[in-house]
Amino acid sequence: MRFVVLATAVVSALAVAGPAAAERYVVVFKQDKQAAPQLAQPLVEAAGGSLVAGYPEIGVAVAESSAPGFAAALDTARSVEGVAATGGMGGVPAGGPPPHLPNEPVSDTDTFSALQWWAQRIKAPEAHAITGGSPAVTVGVIDTGVDATHPDLDGNVDPSRSVSCVGGAPNPAPVAWNDDSGHGSNVAGVIAAEANGRGIVGIAPNVKLAVIKASTRVGTSDVFLPEAVICSFVWAANNGIDVANSSFSTDSAPSGGTTSFCKADPVQKTIIKAVQRAVAYAQQRDVTVVTSAGNDGRDLAALRADGCMRLPSQAPGVVTVSSIGMLDALAAGPPSNYGLGEVWVTAPGGDFMQGVPPAGLILSAWPAAMQVPRLMCDPCTGADAAFYRFFAGTSQAAAQVSGVAALVVSRFGKERGWNQGLMEPRRVRVILGLTADPLPCPAGDARCVAEEDETSFFGHGVVNALRAVTFDKRDP
């Protein structure tokens, strides 16, 4: 063990440059076709703005304007259902698998494999004896970008399907989707770090990764504005992505704002509708959407009862993941969100309160350019140096579930002929739920409630990679 301390595929979007000082808006049309660029652009321009991208697949457009009355003027159009200012600023540059998939096994014998208690907890090494996933399966990492030069990721990142959606329109330039936070690289490593004898082994080390950058770095925070989130799911839908890992929450403003959107607010209601349309479109195109529940210690079911929701984790049909620590308790540091009917499964996200750190945390890839204290490395020097960092949160838990979902699609998506190749997200979701290890509510914790085969803390239980890849659809 080594330790070191160191201080464009075609899309139906038309990109149009907007004024540098313009504010950005999400526009929801009453009908899908009305968002087509040739129809939306004249309306947007007549109201005093410019079109950034039109997504007729979901009836949503992204626009920019510096005109004070832009939203009100556009909202008077009969074809427009709602206009929401996102706080994003203009000036951002725009820019089928085979029927039977190879499923090669892999060995969990990389340098830091012994530290991967989380992979062992979900039976990933046992699953890897059957399959490490297929290179014909792609996981879209909707996040802060990914360091495509990391030695444990470089063989799996697919530049041809990677993009930045910052600004609301796809930009395929590699410099645009490079990681400026570290979070996305860490998540990507959990999903698909290569089994190459160094560092760690991801949950699905043979699958490909499509980088979909959706965040803007603001100080020390990563902000995911609605227009970037919408663009990301449409990109995933139109570019053959099998699983979309969504370890983030949509933010209401560049400052971060709130991550809860309430239907009683007309602007927030517009954003809810737009993001949900984008998620639904991705699901219709056979993208399994896996989302993190969030790290606020919040009851998402109570949030929904108040007419509000977190996006995309409370969108219909997604696989929402809570986080547990190494003692199988709901994570308290950071505190995992939960909610009956909201959490589908749980996975080890790490917890500073369970085990003495760094034991009990999640070790994964980290960009070499971002040197921080307590990095692991393998090797530690030279042009091929590879760095790793411990993290904790529902982001890492969701990444594990995305890896297992990719293994499921690798094994069954094309081999069994379901949906003529790509695997329907609802089937992936059902398999993940049916094969999870049930985890009961802890005694004496009134926050946790159970109903039939699920609980508010853990959903259907802890995801189990081995049971998932050996699932027989004849089972009940």
- Least confidently predicted of 83-87, 144-148, 313-317, 331-335: 83-87
Confidence of residue 100 (pLDDT cuts 50, 70, 90): low
pLDDT over 70, % of the chain: 90
349 close to 190: Cβ distance less than 8 angstroms: no
Residue 11 pLDDT more than 50?
Answer: no
Once rounded to an integer, what is the mean pLDDT over residues 163-171? 97
Confidence of residue 358 (pLDDT cuts 50, 70, 90): very high
Residues 6+ apart with CB under 8 A from 471: 408, 412, 431, 434, 435
Predicted pLDDT at 87: 85
Q: Which letter does DSSP use for residue 459 in this model?
A: B
Predicted pLDDT at 13: 39
Residue 302 pLDDT more than 70?
Answer: yes
The identity of residue 256, as a single letter, is G
Alpha helices per DSSP H over 306-375: none
Confidence of residue 168 (pLDDT cuts 50, 70, 90): very high
Once rounded to an integer, what is the mean pLDDT over residues 68-94? 84
Strands (E), 90-233: 138-143, 163-164, 208-213, 216-218, 221-223
Q: Which residues of 429-468 are buried (b: 16+ CB within 10 A; e: fewer)?
A: bebbbbbbbebebeeeeeebbeeeebbbbbbbbbbbbbbb
- CA 411 to chain centroid, in Å, comes to 22
Q: Which domains does the chain have, with CATH numbers?
A: 23-89 (3.30.70.80), 113-469 (3.40.50.200)
Q: CA dist 140 to 54, 108, 143, 160, 405, Å?
A: 21, 23, 9, 12, 12
Predicted pLDDT at 414: 56
Residue 165 pLDDT more than 60?
Answer: yes
Give residue for tokens 């699932």.
471
**What are 243-285's pLDDT values in tens digits?**
999 999 999 989 877 889 999 999 999 999 999 999 999 999 9
Q: Which residues of 168-200 are buried (b: 16+ CB within 10 A; e: fewer)?
A: bbbbbebebbbbbbbbbbbbbbbbbbbbeebbb
The identity of residue 335, as a single letter, is P
406 close to 382: Cβ distance less than 8 angstroms: no
Once rounded to an integer, what is the mean pLDDT over residues 408-422? 64
Longest dimension (CA), the chain: 65
447 close to 333: Cβ distance less than 8 angstroms: no
User: Cα separation of 85 and 131, whole Å?
Assistant: 46
- DSSP β-bridge partners for residue 376: 3, 388
Helix (H) or strand (E) holding 62: strand 60-65
**What are 378-397's pLDDT values in tens digits?**
999 998 999 999 999 999 99
- DSSP β-bridge partners for residue 456: none
Confidence of residue 101 (pLDDT cuts 50, 70, 90): confident
**What are 43-56's pLDDT values in tens digits?**
999 999 999 999 99
Report the mean per-residue pLDDT for the chain. Answer: 91
Confidence of residue 327 (pLDDT cuts 50, 70, 90): very high
Helix, coil or strand: residue 338: strand
Q: Edge-to-edge strand order for the sheet containing 387-391?
A: 3-4, 375-377, 387-391, 362-366
Nearest to 35 by CA among 230, 322, 251, 236: 230
Residue 419 pLDDT more than 50?
Answer: no
Residue 17 pLDDT more than 50?
Answer: no
Helix (H) or strand (E) holding 277: helix 266-284
Reading the block at residue 41, the tokens are 């652009």
User: Cα separation of 88 and 100, whole Å?
Assistant: 44
Residues 6+ apart with CB under 8 A from 204: 132, 133, 137, 139, 191, 192, 402, 403, 404, 406, 407, 410
- Least confidently predicted of 13-27, 125-139, 176-190: 13-27
Predicted pLDDT at 2: 35
Q: Which of 182 and 11 is assigned the larger pLDDT?
A: 182
Confidence of residue 368 (pLDDT cuts 50, 70, 90): very high
- The model's pTM is 0.90
pLDDT over 90, % of the chain: 86
Helix, coil or strand: residue 119: helix
The identity of residue 423, as a single letter, is M
End-to-end Cα distance, the chain = 44
Q: Which of 441 and 420 is assigned the larger pLDDT?
A: 441
- Least confidently predicted of 15-29, 63-77, 249-263, 437-451: 15-29
User: Cα separation of 214 and 165, whole Å?
Assistant: 5
